[in-house]
Amino acid sequence: MTTASHTHQARPALDFVVRKDDLHRYQFVEASVHAESPLAEGQILIRIDQFAFTSNNVTYAAFGETMHYWDFFPTSEGWGRIPVWGFGDVMQSRNDAIQAGQRYYGYFPMSDYVLMQPDRINENGFVDAAAHRQPLHPLYNQYLATAHDPGYIAARENEIALLRPLFMTSFMIDDFLDDNQFFGAGTVILSSASSKTAYGLAFLLAQRGLDQCEVIGLTSPANVAFTKGLGCYHRVIAYDQIESLSAERPVVYVDMSGNAKVRSTLHHHFHDNMKYSCAVGGTHWDQREGEGQLPGARPALFFAPAQIKKRAAEWGMAGVMSRYAAAWKKFLPSLGSWMSIIHDRGPRAVERVYVDMLEGRSRPEQGHILSMSE
Ligand X SMILES: NC(=O)c1ccc[n+]([C@@H]2O[C@H](COP(=O)([O-])OP(=O)(O)OC[C@H]3O[C@@H](n4cnc5c(N)ncnc54)[C@H](OP(=O)(O)O)[C@@H]3O)[C@@H](O)[C@H]2O)c1
Determine how many CB atoms are found less than 10 A away from the CB of residue 219: 26
Binding ligand X (rule: CB under 6 A), the pick from 50, 158, 197, 371 is 197
Cβ of residue 299: shortest distance to ligand X, in angstroms? 14
Contact string (CB under 6 A) for ligand X, positions 244-273, x = contact: ------------xx----------------
Task: Tell me if 64 contacts ligand X by CB under 6 A.
Answer: no
C-beta of 282 vs 296, nearer to ligand X: 282
Cβ of residue 3: shortest distance to ligand X, in angstroms? 35
Task: Tell me if 196 contacts ligand X by CB under 6 A.
Answer: yes
C-beta of 17 vs 58, nearer to ligand X: 58
Binders of ligand X: how many residues, by CB under 6 A? 28
Cβ burial, residue 159 (10 Å; 0-12/13-18/19+) = buried
Amino acid at position 125, single letter: G
Alpha-carbon distance of 257 to 27, in angstroms, equals: 27
188 with 205: CB under 8 angstroms? yes
Beta-sheet pairing, 125-128 with 118-122: antiparallel
Alpha-carbon distance of 108 to 161, in angstroms, equals: 11
Alpha-carbon distance of 171 to 1, in angstroms, equals: 41
Those residues whose C-beta lies under 8 Å from the C-beta of residue 181, and which sit 6 or more positions away, are none
C-beta of 30 vs 240, nearer to ligand X: 240
Amino acid at position 333, single letter: P
Contact string (CB under 6 A) for ligand X, positions 269-308, x = contact: -----------xxxxx-------------------x----
Q: Which residue is nearest to ligand X (CB)?
A: 281
List residues binding ligand X (CB under 6 A): 54-56, 59, 166, 169, 192-197, 219-220, 223, 256-257, 280-284, 304, 357-360, 364
